[in-house]
Structure 1
């Protein structure tokens, strides 16, 4: 099935409604219009940014300078309106003032851009005051009914400025397009939730309460109402979300350490920065240790106050893994899962096996806010389960990261870590034996060997019971702290190397062999899709030909027919069938053209038409005639409006252009009822290949308004033409922009000497002449499926759009051995396009589509 459909939408804006997102509510008159990707706003809106930012800065500075406002309330009642208003503009820590001002100015300027200055002020002041009242109420409920659960420090005053900033951001999200709406809300949610869980100050409670308050403020003031469904993410956006989740688990403990109040569910991570080695009136000891106990003393302090920063190194490994997940690296996902599982195991051992009374005693000795025993137990359990939940989430969505590691990269990583561990343990063992007199009590060889693996842990993570001897001299202390630091630095360097060694899809294993065969002998218009990730390859034993396939259940689904110099040989298909029989698979040849069908006619299998491919000859095609009037009109309009095209590659685009393409693509995916598909349906990830060409449309300001990607069609003499893959545009692009872009591609192909240009197929929208009642049962089923999916992906609308270019339509077929196997074949095809889809998931997908189908029918009428 050609790839234009699920990664593409019908491109004529006046006729192809399925491509467009759900219509936004009309913005009020004073709202500066902006497109889904944050387009330019009129100068009238921009002129108010500087005055508002200056006013906010002056108000904050002046209020902070009046220290009595921070120290004495205006009234005995925390619900005093004037006091709440002053608190909303007050920063009690001068060191936080630059951060708060920067956040207020940045968020305020962006919010004003999309919803106007008056709504920004309303969301900040009104939303802040409502947040104050609700926060005080929630704090009172926590104190009265949840004393045993560690949540946050009780709020004693109103909401701080950061809560107003969160309310403004959430309100502004109601006035943006789907992509930025989701990003703003997710970023705000992640930031607020991270601070609440790890820091847990009263201010963090207000930031969390400000999320729904700001959302309500945006909807009340005329913004788009929140849809009661999870917005779809592209594969790239899914990786961004997984990377964000991984990064939160890395940053959270640092937040708990630096800013933590000690009162939150995950504030217990702040204890990771404390060194168990303690100075009690100058004596090195360990609190609650049986072998090196602390004597009664007047003064207690940590032996090395900065030793806790060694525990940051494993968290930096997690940050490196999150960077790799964004890039789609499978090794990065595995690394993140492994580190989170190690954290889970360590937290379970250290904080669950260790008696809570030990932590309570540590809290008292360090003059911290010691939680009650029940609060400690709850915090310990939650802190141990969070990394496990993150690891499970990463595993469930592991298909989002499919880029394999470079050849030998994983081996190099494992060897490097193993050498680092062995070196660390050897240095620790030999050094401790050599300096045994400088430890107390003096360690013997048996005790050293028994506790040796724990020396790989950062010192602040050592369980108290495991510390059986303590370093007494500077040399012994260096031997105590440095080995684990060097080991985790080695792990960090190995992780960075693993992420930097990016494999080239053209030179990895079977894919390299298949690509060389394709470039040498050619194939059909779908053949280049066989180079995409996720395919397996069967190579003919005695011919220069191969077939790409995917196995789901017991069904092996091919991606097109054979490719290579000998692809037309009649015995290739039979040999693949025999190969599938040896493995117990049911072979299905999917989206094969007439030439491949002819070579496999001796199989005697049943066939059904699954798509029609639109083909053009760029050497003879001209935009003349009445039926091509739309193409000429679009070209003339583009000339008048200054819209131009650019024939390029992904690698040649600067960073800002790539960001624009991702915005266009994500905005298209975000509001879809069904997820972004794969198999024969490419997305933006597939455009990175240097062989793929892009035709971009830019408006008069140079902004990218539309993008199409073109896959090479190889012949025996090289690239013979191109096949359309991705086709996406902005909602505010010029009417007819896709007709203009494709017309420009035809001209470019003619100039390059190409002999064929494929507009790809229109799956489930074949040009059958028979009435639906006269079609075979399987064809009627495909017709019904086409009608069901039409509102989501516009198969039929796409087919009608391609008719504007007057192409020749060539059928594409599915060959299968027996109609009895069709249910299994259908499920396998669904899983090819949506990996991991279950029968229950398919049922839920159909239920979501049915209402849209009725709505689409009404709109069509």
Structure 2
């Protein structure tokens, strides 16, 4: 009773972040006093007292509530991870060190490199925002692999973005707070992994690519709305300004030699809101970013193309821009004319950023693997082409009819030459390219509307390409295959619905195959599915289909029933795995050989660990984040890339037909997860097959035995007749002597041994043996041994999509190294 009371009291203390609430109160008090009485001002920036007080001071009343909320969220999270004292140390000491470093860097840059745009020089110490970044970086040293990478990535991207695009004095402090906070976290006892790279799942790579694309799209808006004009990429803010200005009631183009701007006391843009047209290409990038997150290959192509177009445009601006012209533009826009050289340097940097983004997206393209249909791509390009042609024709016709409304009056040749320029947002048009300016409302409409209409069409076409389900290659076939699967399939049959598969359907029969094509080898994922899947002519028809296309057919991981149906081909077959099968109606944990299962179950009950059978849609956001974190930690430990084909990921668990069995500890934290795919027979759902197993490093021993035992009980209650622990891919079959194996068997034995240190296929097979299941062989059926080299490479590419020959060689070296290190450890 006493220990229970202590535990409850401890939980309550943890739920009340006293240090965070105290810090939030201090920020409110200092800010209110400073706003009302002007206190703490006028002190030297090198005064320690002033620096400390600045860390808790917000001068803008509208910003104060936002900062207080950020303090509660960031510091509250950090306090739960590393305690109140450590959090306050990271905030106070991290902020002071950041202030000192920022003042030193600002003075150094101003005195030694005035021509290089690094930002405004600091006039005060760091504000609460850099201190919060230092806290977040320090707290990341106390998190798991997933949140460590996400928190650091978010802090790095946000700090670098505002520093490069906005570059206020506070932004310099934010950038310097990152290494300061990381050092504070290590000093306080956090992990010393630093910023070293870790292997990520395909989902996490897509998250990072999405963030990179979105941030570079939002950056120019940051430069426009909040930029100081002194940042390295502040030149993007200039691109939102309309080159057409009015000076002394005269419309002119800044930087133009034909319609130059006169010397005047003041200038204002002809259409101040015209700069928002330049945001439409950024909207295209944001739509593409969302598509990248969903794995759409078309979205990746759009993002790469737009970034390359921006690179080409910024390069052209850099080539044609001169310091004198930039000085004139600075004068027109009311900025410091001495920044002309800074703008020239900024143009060069602004050209390299989109190029770097495009290269990064291309290099990481293998994690974005959902291809579009040919018709969807054709429709996309048709929409863009028709929109461009229509806008160009109307713009030319309008220019001919309203030529008198421009000054000076353009010739037909000049109108024809300027037609492609009408597709550019007006603010992106260099003033030196302007030969005539609009002087009436009609001519202004002809100047501004064409680009707005064209880029609106681009946004709509991109959204249709990215969001439409019908634009995904094989979407209709996947729906048809899903319906056929429910009329009969093997235990691995539901894997046919996963992305990356192509489908073949029998003409007259209710049957089909899911296959993947690599190097002229068509590898099926299991046997046929559908009500007629066991008819002999189905396999022969698929072989004929492959022969018509010049492919080598291979039937991989087929069960006895499917292999028997293929006997009429008189092909070779080799046993590639053993599927562990249980009957939930009769299986019990009784018996000496199942002692581990009973022990794990009893320990789980003692420690308050419970199992939960649930679908992905029923999970909360917090639950999903925990599952992702567990999975990312598992992937980070692997020496080779995340594999696919017959090896699922957490992404496939989101299917409405799939189920998860979770293990929750006494505090309701998810400590382990297993995912299960349905198996259908002639009468419908017959059971489930195991797909993914993941656990936390600190989960209790035997957690997986406990979960599988719980699944048996669940399926028994649901009246299911089958529970499959699946096969262990490439694991050697049970029994037999290695010396009696055929050449194919020896090849699979070698490949299994090479992959064992990374994926543990043999260990997985040994684990399944604890349940004393019935082992059913899975076969690969192939035409002739002469095709084995091509088949082996095709199988490797199925498991590691996008693998090239060079990549396969590097992977073999890593596997060999991993195997040697494992052997030496043993």
TM-score past 0.5 threshold:
yes
CA deviation after TM superposition for structure 1 residue 306, in Å: 3.0
Is the 8 Å Cα contact of residues 329 and 404 (structure 1) preserved in structure 2? yes
Is the 2:275–2:427 contact (alpha carbons within 8 Å) kept by the matching residues of 1?
yes
- Equivalent in 4, 25, 28 of residue 54 of structure 1: 25
Question: Are residue 175 (structure 1) and residue 142 (structure 2) matched?
Answer: yes
Give 1:514-529 correspondences, 5 Å limit. 514-520=481-487, 522-529=488-495
TM-score, length-scaled by structure 1: 0.85
- By how many angstroms is 1:607 displaced? 4.5
Aligned pairs for 1:435-834 within 5 A? 435-503=402-470, 508-520=475-487, 522-540=488-506, 544-570=510-536, 572-573=538-539, 576-577=542-543, 579-601=545-567, 607-639=573-605, 643-699=609-665, 702-733=668-699, 735-772=701-738, 775-776=741-742, 779-780=745-746, 782-817=748-783, 821-834=787-800
CA contact (8 A) 1:506 1:512 kept: no
Residue 175 of structure 1: SS of its match in structure 2?
coil
Corresponding residue to 1:102 among 69, 75, 79? 69
Distance 2:378 2:395 in 1: 26
Aligned to 2:4: none
Residue of structure 2 aligned with 1:124, choices 91, 95, 98:
91
Query: CA 1:40/1:798 → structure 2, altered by over 3 Å: closer, same or farther?
Result: farther
Q: 2:118 aligns with which of 122, 132, 151?
A: 151
Deviations 1:305-361 (A, max 9, x none): 332122222212222222222222333323323322332233233343344532232
**TM-superposition CA deviations, 1:284-308 (whole Å, max 9, x none):** 1112213321122222222233321
CA distance in 2 between counterparts of 1:387 and 1:457 reads 18
Deviation readout 1:253-295 (Å, 9 max, x if unpaired): 0111122222333221011111101112221111221332112
Aligned pair in 2 of structure 1 residues 690, 206: CA closer, same or farther (>3 Å)?
same
1:196–1:505 Cα change, 3 Å: closer
Residue 299 of structure 2 is matched in structure 1 by 332
In the TM superposition, residue 645 of structure 1 has moved relative to its aligned partner by 4.2
Deviations, residues 506-556 of structure 1 (Å, cap 9, x unaligned): 983443444444334x23222221222212234456655433222223433
Q: Indicate conservation of the 8 Å contact 1:45/1:116, yes or no.
A: no
Q: Distance in 2 between matches of 1:779 and 1:130?
A: 63
Superposition pairs for residues 418-433 of structure 1, below 5 Å?
Answer: 420-421=387-388, 424-425=391-392, 428-433=395-400
Deviations 1:151-193 (A, max 9, x none): 3334455444322222111111000111111110110111111
- 3-state SS of paired residue (2:503): strand
Moved more, 721-730 or 128-137: 128-137
Contact preservation (8 Å) 1:273, 1:309: yes
Instruction: Tell me by how many angstroms 1:110 deviates.
Output: 1.2
- Structure 1 residues 138, 848: closer, same or farther in 2, change over 3 A? farther
Q: 2:210 & 2:338 partners in 1: Cα distance?
A: 32
| SS of residue paired to 2:641 | coil
Is 1:292 paired with 2:255? Answer: no
| Correspondence list, 1:367-382, <5 A | 367-370=334-337, 374-382=341-349
Deviates more, 1:425-434 or 1:256-265: 425-434
Q: Distance in 1 between matches of 2:733 and 2:386?
A: 64
Distance 1:453 1:755, change over 3 A: same
Unmatched tracts of structure 1, length 5 or more: 1-32, 34-38
Question: In the aligned structure 1, how far is the partner of 2:65 from the partner of 2:134?
Answer: 19
C-alpha separation between the residues in 1 aligned to 2:585 and 2:30? 68
User: Which residue of structure 1 lines up, in the alignment, with residue 154 of structure 2?
Assistant: 187
Contact 2:18–2:84 (CA under 8 A) maintained in structure 1? no
C-alpha distance 838-483 of structure 1, shift in aligned 2 (>3 A): closer
Classify 1:700/1:455 alpha carbon distance in 2 versus 1 (closer, same or farther; 3 Å): same
Q: Deviations over 1:554-608 (max 9, x none)?
A: 4332222333444444455455455445544444332222333344456565554
In 1: Cα distance, 2:560 partner to 2:462 partner: 49
Give yes or no for the alignment of 1:166 onto 2:105: no
Give the aligned partner of residue 259 of structure 1.
226
Mean Cα displacement is larger for which, 526-535 or 174-183?
Answer: 526-535
Whether contact under 8 Å (2:145, 2:629) holds in the other structure is no
Matched, 1:349 2:320: no
Change (3 A) 1:690 1:388: same
Aligned pair in 2 of structure 1 residues 840, 375: CA closer, same or farther (>3 Å)?
farther
Contact kept in structure 1, 2:26 and 2:56, CA below 8 Å:
no
How far apart are the structure 1 equivalents of 2:12 and 2:160? 32
Once the two structures are superposed, the pairs formed by residues 18-57 of structure 1 within 5 Å of their partners are 43=14, 46-57=17-28
SS at match of 1:714: strand
1:790–1:470 Cα change, 3 Å: same
Q: The residue matched to 1:48 in structure 2 has which SS?
A: helix
Report the 3-state secondary structure (helix = DSSP H, G, I; strand = E; otherwise coil) of the residue aligned with 2:686.
Answer: strand
Give the match for residue 310 of structure 1. Answer: 277
Contact persistence 1:613–1:760 (CA under 8 A): yes
SS of the residue aligned with 2:197? coil
State the partner residue of 1:30: none
Q: TM-score, normalised by structure 2?
A: 0.89
Structure 2 CA distance for partners of 1:82 and 1:72, relative to 1, 3 Å: closer
Q: Is the 8 A contact 1:262 1:369 kept in 2?
A: no
Structure 1 residues 81-90 or 220-229, which shifts more? 81-90
Partner Cα distance (1:365, 1:59) in 2: 41
Report the equivalent of 2:3: none
Please give the root-mean-square deviation of Cα atoms over the aligned residues, in Å: 3.5
Q: Write out per-residue CA displacement over residues 13-52 of structure 1, whole angstroms, 9 at most, x where no aligned residue.
A: xxxxxxxxxxxxxxxxxxxx9xxxxx98952763333123
* Contact in 2 for aligned 1:352/1:380 (Cα 8 Å): no
Q: Secondary structure at the match of 2:581?
A: strand
Query: Is the CA contact (8 Å cut-off) linking 2:57 and 2:128 kept in structure 1?
Result: yes
Query: Contact 2:556 / 2:781 at 8 angstroms: preserved in 1?
Result: yes
Aligned to 2:174: 207
Q: Does 1:275 align with 2:233?
A: no
CA distance in 1, matches of 2:198, 2:188: 23
* Residue deviations 1:671-700 (CA, integer Å, cap 9, x gap): 433332111111122223333233344455
**CA deviations over 1:376-431 (Å, ceiling 9, x no partner):** 33322221232233223223333333345589665665555556545544554455
Residues 825 and 518 (structure 1), Cα distance of their counterparts in 2 relative to 1, 3 Å cut: same
Report how many residues are paired: 818
